[in-house]
Amino acid sequence: MKKIVIASIQMDIKTGNMDLNLRTAQGFIEKALKHKPQIVTLPEMFATGFDYPYIKDIAKDSFNELISFLINSSYRYGCYIVGGSIPEMSDGKLYNTSFVSSPDRKIIGYQRKIHPFTVTEEDKYFTGGDKLNVIPCPLAKLGIVICYDIRFPETARTLTLKGAEIIICPAHFPTPREHHWEILLKSRAIENQVFVIGNNRVGGKKTRYFGKSLIVDPYGEIVGEMDDKEGVLVEKIDIERIEQVRSSMPVLLERKPEAYK
């Protein structure tokens, strides 16, 4: 068996208060330590929220601090951290990017959000990424789809075909779309026969966020689930479950891509 302990941090993100958000994230990571997590996940824009008036300045001025938080936390706590997402400036463009840090103080991979959410005008500030990356974590191959990306089945399927075993979705999913959230996460797990982790935030003022972070297994069963409060979801998953499900229902082997054009 190839079992992995995963901790998913569900937190209320205070827009514009990076110091408080980092303290909150650190506190929940420390709370999870009694379970000896090997992978810790955080929500989308966990440190800043979508602080649009200042988001470019944050990306320019605080990017190194945020990366240092991730790599130092991984080193200190001895786990891989999927850093939700943070604002990243590159070649004059702003991206919504998830970085993965390792216990040896390295960034082992990243994923830029492919689809900025046009409904909230995220696309007026952020440029969408143009590539889906599988991150070679020694524990399991990771794929990341950020919030709105989960609505596009091509993202999870592409990552699966590239070898992803766990697909992680850091999110800012608001009320009243809770039923979409659960169905989308389950669907991506079932159709790709991979583990899917949905890591949502809670709280908010004008817009409320329902939380309900989930861990779904390759058969679509919910392994662990949270409510609408801050906290930590910790579960042990068995990567060998992927092969068991695929052997009993070989949909990936029986694909006919020539007919899908």
pLDDT the model gives residue 113: 98
- Determine the average pLDDT of the residues in 226-237: 98
Euclidean distance between CA atoms 94 and 2, whole angstroms? 38
Segments making up each domain of the chain, as ranges: 3-259
Euclidean distance between CA atoms 68 and 208, whole angstroms? 30
Predicted confidence band of residue 249 (pLDDT cuts 50, 70, 90): very high
- Determine the average pLDDT of the residues in 124-144: 98
Q: Note whether 99 and 86 are within 8 A (CB).
A: yes
Q: For 32-85, write each residue's pLDDT tens digit.
A: 999 999 999 999 999 999 999 999 999 999 999 999 999 999 999 999 999 999
Predicted confidence band of residue 1 (pLDDT cuts 50, 70, 90): low
**To the nearest whole number, what is the mean pLDDT of the chain?**
97
Class of domain 3-259: alpha beta
Q: For 195-215, write each residue's pLDDT tens digit.
A: 999 999 999 988 999 999 999
- Determine the average pLDDT of the residues in 12-21: 96
How far CA 32 is from CA of 9, 23, 78, 220, 223, in Å, comes to: 9, 14, 12, 25, 17
- Determine the average pLDDT of the residues in 124-133: 98
